[in-house]
Structure 1
Amino acid sequence: MKITAVEAIPFAIPYTKPLRFASGEVHTADHVLVRVHTDEGLVGIAEAPPRPFTYGETQESIVAVIHRIFAPEIVGMSALEREGIHARLNRTIGNPAAKSAIDMALWDVIGKSVNLPVTELLGGYADRMAVSHMVGFAPPEEMVAAAERVRGQYGITTFKVKVGRKPFMLDVEACRALRRGLGDDVELYIDGNRGWTASESARALRAMEDLDLTLAEELCPADDVLGRRWLAEQSRIPVVADESATRPGEVTRELLDGASNAISIKTARTGFTTSQRILFQSEGLGVEVVMGNQVDGQIGTMCTVAFGAAYQRTAQRAGELSNFLDMSDDLLTEPLRIIDGTLFARRGAGLGIEIDPDKLAHYRQDR
């Protein structure tokens, strides 16, 4: 099962509304479809979503590094040689989304080769995940209305609230409005995208102690080493490392330094193989994990479900699986459906998804 070609196809699908958070805003899903071809006719697929304001990758850089560096390195290797493939990819530093998409496409190929879902190959714990929905920056009444609509239409009862604005009281009032509007039977947690200082974060958390928040993610920058440790020591809820913990070594640093005590896993930046390592590392150290979202489309969301459902520790929390709802379209022949707040992994071989060729032809940017 030799790799014969690796494609990186840029595509762009507009969002129905801008997604706004402390580190930037997104108007269009400028993503990259990655396809790994083999000599047996199997094709694995995955999606690479650039986050230039977080990891430095752009759509153009992902296409270039895959076509010019990664593909020449791995064409001719067996799709089963995942460790050898990773060793070659890791000769080039950075480029997490590009590397992760190749890794997940390889797992899709392997699943197809043995006619089994990737979820079963990874662990097979469950076949579904509860869904958490991201609520972005807007006036409080609009944030409440958006959350109520999502709860009513999709049955979602867990919400990740974007915070990190200055002055921070804007976010405190928004969280208060959400708790009042949604009641006590929903889970709320916050994500600052590094927008606050440690002292602002501490004040905001104190001001929201009565709101029963469950997690606080990346409230201040990773370089604020002592400030993050000081914040985590006094926080009454788990402090989640996300952008600051993109590799196993960074996870170790964050946890042992006391800067965080929970970890966000994103398959879009660590694929399935490295995500496994981070999950097992976190499990061994006894810290909570949450399946995050890198503004993924439906392809990336299905990758997150396939991984998250495979393990007890990731399946027991709602995963961030609904960003695709804000996209005006997608590339799948069979779109994802959230029912009663739940998203199922596909039962077909591999990831169980197929690309609609007409949609790809319409949205691709290289022709």
Structure 2
Amino acid sequence: MPIITKVEVIKLNIPYKEPFVISLGVIPSATNVLVRIHSSDGFVGTGECAPFVFIVGETQETVFELSKQLAGLLKGKDPYELNERLAEIDKAVYANYTMKSAFDMALYDLAAKRAGLPLYQYLGGSNNRDIYTDMTISIGAPEKVAADALRFQEEGFPAIKVKLGTTTKDDVARVRAIREAVGDHYPIRIDANQGWDVITAIKTLQELNQYNIEHCEEPIASWNYMEMPKVRQNSPIPIMADESVFTHHDAMKLAKIGACDYFNIKFSKSGGINTAIKINAIAEAAGIKCQVGCMSESRYALTALMHFVLASPNVVHYDIDSSLMLAEDPVVGGINYEGKGLWTISEEPGIGAEFDEDYLRGSEWMVV
């Protein structure tokens, strides 16, 4: 029986090209964590997570320290008893879904490598459709966001996502400036990141309707999810749940009350691939379509996300852009950006990507 011989946990720090601003705070750099699980049969599985403290309540430091507990729990056990290992990880620590997602990803990488299959095939999918990401614009002055929108349109991205969540006046001014810059028909999506109260959300969404918006992510505070149906009923713009849907349990609650038109699935929020599959299954059963999104992941975790997309036809929107905002790319292999929003993927077994060892050499490591 193969066993887990050691687990490496590595801090990964990558600066943004420019600070990223959302209603919840400013993000100057990616402060991620890598997990590498070594098996006695010679395979190594890698996972990456990106903690946003103001969304998930985790930091690089908390993930790094708590990973000792999960690594010690896994060591000496069969990594290919996937359901058993994932259940142990889930029970070992309450919440901490970002940390758990790195271990989940590493175990899936191991399992697919051992099977000799790209992860999307291991998950039952096919590489039979083109995946184009939108591009996200952080909160800024109207002239700045309009210039960014026009640049992304000229670069060929099929859609843009605009961060909002301030005042009705300022948010409408941003979207108006963007619409004037890009024309009437270029797809615009918006994300308030919980920035509005219920009254402001309804008022702002109604005023923004004239600008042909595809959908709005998380208009109100996630704790106030019982009011989401009211926002949805009074909004001419479709509503997407993001911070209010961490796990499949959240997805079930939101589906029951008719809170939204879409779920946004992020590995670092959901706990990884296993829970993402469950969220998508609930969405399909409830007639809800899904988007995949990201935090500050490098191209590695985005590659894993792409594998999930190729195995999930119910996922119809793709916000796979975080690595395009980073100043450096430490990943070897994996998905390749072809321009104009298009990602392509290799057919290597597992996730099909690794990290440049020279890049990691200066990072803080822990071996369990």
TM (normalized to structure 1)?
Answer: 0.94
Tell me by how many angstroms 1:195 deviates: 0.6
Shift of 1:99: 0.7
Which of 128, 132, 135 is equivalent to 2:134? Answer: 132
**More displaced stretch, 275-284 vs 332-341:** 332-341
Kindly state the Cα deviation for residue 193 of structure 1 after the two structures are TM-superposed.
Answer: 0.7
The answer to whether structure 1 residue 257 and structure 2 residue 254 are counterparts is no
Question: 1:187-230 CA distances to partner (integer Å, 9 max, x unpaired)?
Answer: 11111111110110111111111111111111111222453221
Residue of structure 1 equivalent to 2:151: 149
In the alignment, structure 1 residue 320 sits paired with structure 2 residue 339: no
Task: Report the counterpart of residue 220 of structure 2 in structure 1.
Answer: 220
Matched residue count: 361
Q: Which amino acid aligns with 2:25?
A: G
| Paired AA for residue 101 in structure 1 | A
Alpha-carbon distance in 2 for matches of 1:234, 1:257: 15
Aligned-pair distance for 1:334?
Answer: 4.1
Distance 1:351 1:15 in 2: 24
Maintained 8 Å contact 1:232/1:239 = yes
SS in 1 for 2:33: strand
Task: Give the superposition deviation at 1:124.
Answer: 1.9
Secondary structure at the aligned position of 2:214 is classed as coil
User: Where do residues 1-367 of structure 1 align in structure 2 (5 Å cutoff)?
Assistant: 1-67=2-68, 69-91=69-91, 92-126=93-127, 128-153=130-155, 155-165=156-166, 167-270=167-270, 271-314=272-315, 317-334=316-333, 336-362=336-362, 364-366=363-365
Whole-Å separation in 2 of the counterparts to 1:268 and 1:338:
25
Relative distance call for 1:289 and 1:107 in structure 2 (3 A) is same
Deviation at 1:71, TM superposition (A): 0.9
Q: For residues 124 and 226 of structure 1, do their structure 2 counterparts lie closer, same or farther at Cα, with a shift above 3 Å needed?
A: closer
Give the Cα–Cα distance (whole angstroms) in 2 for the partners of residues 46 and 233 of structure 1.
39
C-alpha displacement at 1:59, in angstroms?
0.4
Q: Is the 8 A contact 2:133 2:318 kept in 1?
A: yes
Q: Give, as a single letter, the amino acid of the residue that structure 1 aligns with 2:176.
A: R
**Aligned partner of residue 255 in structure 1, secondary structure:** helix
1:136 partner amino acid? S
1:311 alignment partner AA: S
2:142 maps to a residue whose letter is P
Q: Tell me, what secondary structure is at the counterpart of 2:77? A: coil
1:37 CA displacement: 0.8
Q: Distance in 1 between matches of 2:183 and 2:63?
A: 43
CA distance in structure 2 between the aligned counterparts of 1:37 and 1:309, rounded to whole angstroms: 26
Structure-2 separation of matches of 1:223 and 1:334: 39
What TM-score does the superposition give when structure 2 sets the normalisation length?
Answer: 0.93
CA contact (8 A) 1:156 1:340 kept: yes
CA-to-partner distance for each residue in 1:322-350, whole Å, 9 max, x for gaps? 12122111221247424232111221111
SS in 2 for 1:300: helix
Deviation string for 1:246-304 (max 9, x for gaps)?
11111111121233232111122331111111101100110111111122221121121
Contact 2:290 2:317 in 1 (8 A): no
Change (3 A) 1:60 1:179: same
Does structure 1 retain, via aligned residues, the 8 Å contact 2:50–2:297?
yes
**1:338-365 per-position Cα deviation (integer Å, ceiling 9, x unaligned):** 4232111221111111211111114x13
Structure 2 gaps, min length 5: none
Deviations 1:154-210 (A, max 9, x none): x21211111101x22211111111122112342111111111101101111111111
**2:59 partner amino acid:** T
Q: Which stretch shows the higher mean deviation, 1-10 or 192-201? A: 1-10
Distance in structure 2 (CA, Å) of the matches to 1:337 and 1:33? 22
Whether the aligned pair in 2 keeps the contact of 1:125 and 1:311 (CA below 8 Å) is: no
Q: Is the contact made by 2:6 and 2:37 (CA closer than 8 Å) also made in structure 1?
A: yes
Report the identity percentage. 27
Which amino acid is the alignment partner of residue 45 of structure 2? G
Task: Give the partner amino acid of 1:249.
Answer: H
Q: Give distance in 2, aligned partners of 1:116 and 1:152.
A: 37
Q: Distance in 1 between matches of 2:231 and 2:3?
A: 50
Tell me how far apart the structure 1 counterparts of residues 292 and 201 of structure 2 sit (CA, whole Å): 23
Structure 1, 321-330 or 190-199: larger mean CA deviation? 321-330
AA of the residue aligned to 1:251: A
| Residue type of the alignment partner of 2:343 | L
Q: Name the amino acid aligned to 1:281.
A: I
Aligned partners of 1:247, 1:37: CA distance in 2, in Å? Answer: 28
> How far off is 1:366 after superposition?
4.7
Cα RMSD (Å) of the superposition? 1.7
- Distance, in Å, in 1 between the alignment partners of 2:317 and 2:64 is 32
Describe the shift of the 1:64–1:326 C-alpha distance in structure 2 as closer, same or farther (beyond 3 A).
same
- State the Cα distance separating 1:42 from its structure 2 match: 0.8
